[in-house]
Amino acid sequence: MKRSRTVQEPAPGQAGFTLVEALIAIVILAVGLVAVTNLFLVAASSNQMGNATTGAATQASETLERLKTVDFCALTPGGNPNMQQDLPAANPASANPDVFVGGVLTYNSYRTLPGVGTIRTRWSIESPNSALTPTRFITVESQVMTTFGRDMTKSQFTAFRTCTGANCPGAC
């Protein structure tokens, strides 16, 4: 006995996808994936910039706090955050740079932070002519350096210190 197979014709409207419909679906999917990929790139870039900004602000704040703990008379005026060159006593890049090298204020330092990069910090100390109260204005500026030597982000803080106690030397 011989069996015969019969092929059923699909009902109208249930014939499946055509090649054109499949291509249109693929194009729409590709456009959506490109948009999502762009969002990931923007998010990664924003995250990197946020890390750099936080690193620069933290380093500037930390340096300013260190300078606040220094004896008032040791805060000799000098330095310039806007200089194109570092002063000779610059600290090399390290995990924890100090504001003094060999007992002398450095006015600049470098610090390497994992995930951020190298942060250059420069500061200046100014002493206005004040016969009444000795004052020092301290300006600290930190910048994250990119691999191409450009400044990525910058943070700047300014504070002042005065000497008003009985141990105040008048004018150091």
* Whole-model pTM over 0.85: no
29-60 in b/e burial notation, b at 16+ Cβ within 10 A?
A: eeeeeeeeeeeeeeeeeeeeeebbbebbbbbb
Half-sphere exposure of residue 20: CA atoms within 13 angstroms, side-chain side:
0
Amino acid, res. 113: L
Contact 59, 119 (CB under 8 A): yes
pLDDT digits 0-9 by tens, 46-67 = 888 888 899 999 999 999 998 8
pLDDT of residue 78: 84
pLDDT digits 0-9 by tens, 104-123 = 777 888 888 888 888 888 89
pLDDT digits 0-9 by tens, 58-94 = 999 999 998 888 888 788 888 877 766 666 555 555 5
